[in-house]
Amino acid sequence: MTLEIVTVPCLSDNYAYIARDSETGATAVVDAPEADPIASALDSRGWKLDKILITHHHFDHVGGVESLRRHHGAKVVGAAADAARLPPLDEAVSEGDSVAVGGAHGTVIDVSGHTVGHIAYVFPGAAFTADSLMSLGCGRIFEGTAEMMWGSLSKLASLPPETRIYSGHEYAASNARFALTIEPENEELKRREAEISGLRAKNLPTVPTTLSLEFETNPFLRASLESVKSAIGMPGAADAAAFAEIRRRKDSF
Rounded CA separation 229/183 (Å):
11
Residue 110 in contact with Fe ion, rule: CB under 5 A: no
Residue 210 phi, psi dihedral angles, 5° rounding: -120, 155
Minimum CB separation of residue 61 from Fe ion in Å reads 6
Let me know if 114 is a catalytic residue.
Answer: yes
56 assigned to active site: yes
How far apart are the C-alpha atoms of 164 and 162, rounded to whole Å? 6
Q: Give the closest residue to 130 by CA, choosing from 228, 230, 210, 61.
A: 61
String marking each residue 113-152 x if it binds Zn ion according to CB under 5 A: ------------------x---------------------
To the nearest whole angstrom, how small is the minimum distance from the Cβ of residue 236 to Fe ion? 34
Q: What part of residues 116-135 is at the interface with Fe ion (CB under 5 A)?
A: 131
Helix (H, G, I), strand (E, B) or coil at 248: helix
# residues contacting Fe ion (CB under 5 A):
3
Site string for Fe ion, 57-96 (x = CB under 5 A): ---x------------------------------------
Count CB neighbours of 158 within 10 A. Answer: 8
Strand partners, 209: 165
At residue 32, what is the residue type? A
Interface region with Zn ion, contact rule CB under 5 A, candidates 54-62, 169-177, 180-188, 189-197: 54-62
Note whether 31 binds Zn ion by CB under 5 A.
no
Name beta bridge partners: 93. 79
User: Could you give the CA distance from residue 12 to residue 177 in angstroms, rounded to a whole number?
Assistant: 20
Q: Binders of Fe ion among 165-184, rule CB under 5 A?
A: 168
Q: Within 10 Å of residue 165's Cβ, how many Cβ atoms?
A: 24
Please report whether residue 31 would count as binding Fe ion according to CB under 5 A: no
Q: How far is the CB of 165 from Fe ion (least distance, A)?
A: 15
Active-site residue list: 56, 58, 60-61, 114, 131, 169
Q: Which residues bind Fe ion (CB under 5 A)?
A: 60, 131, 168
